[in-house]
């Protein structure tokens, strides 16, 4: 909540000891603790009353139904993407099984225009030699 660490609490305690004095310090901490307890109780009561008002107005039911619709859309989108990816992998596997090793698809790092311009009839020696235009990019 306030994100106060042990070091900050130690500094606050030392300053309080110097300002208030050792005689009145326990009473000060007791009063601060009671104040914090009352503040937390008030915050808890406010939260409960806001939740009750939301339940009365039907806001909670609307929120739950919207979350359910969102989950449904997410699940159907995820399922569609998974099916599409599986069909792509299946198609690639089938194409790789039916293709000869010399006609392997170009590397993924090459732009599509350069892959189409590569000489397919030159043989494996041309595929192994680096091209100057691909090395320059």
The CA distances from residue 87 to 58, 77, 92, in Å, are: 44, 15, 9
Q: 50 in helix, strand or coil?
A: helix
Average of pLDDT values for 98-123? 52
Helix (H, G, I), strand (E, B) or coil at 43: helix
Q: What span, in angstroms and rounded, lies between the C-alpha atoms of 85 and 92?
A: 11
pLDDT attached to residue 7: 92
pLDDT(70) > 50: yes
The distance of Cα 40 from the centroid of its chain, to the nearest Å, equals: 32
User: What is the separation of C-alpha 123 from the centre of its chain, rounded to a whole number of angstroms?
Assistant: 47
The pLDDT of residue 122 is above 70: no
User: To the nearest whole number, what is the mean pLDDT of the chain?
Assistant: 74
Per-residue pLDDT of 100-110, as tens digits, reads 555 555 554 45
For Cα atoms 117, 122, 128, give the angle at the middle one, nearest 5 degrees: 85
Average pLDDT (79-98) is 80
Per-residue model confidence as pLDDT tens digits over 21-55:
889 989 988 999 999 999 999 999 999 998 888 77
């Amino acid at each position: 909540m306030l994100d106060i660490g042990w070091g900050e609490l130690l500094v606050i305690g030392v300053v309080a000891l110097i300002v208030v004095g050792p005689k009145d310090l326990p009473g000060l901490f007791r009063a601060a603790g009671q104040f914090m307890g009352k503040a937390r109780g008030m915050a808890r009561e406010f939260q409960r009353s806001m939740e009750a008002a939301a339940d009365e107005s039907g806001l909670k039911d609307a929120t739950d139904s919207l979350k359910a619709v969102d989950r449904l859309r997410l699940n159907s989108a995820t399922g569609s993407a998974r099916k599409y990816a599986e069909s792509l992998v299946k198609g690639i596997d089938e194409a790789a099984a039916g293709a000869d090793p010399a006609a392997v698809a170009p590397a993924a790092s090459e732009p599509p225009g350069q892959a189409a311009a590569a000489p397919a009839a030159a043989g494996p020696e041309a595929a192994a030699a680096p091209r100057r235009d691909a090395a320059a990019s």
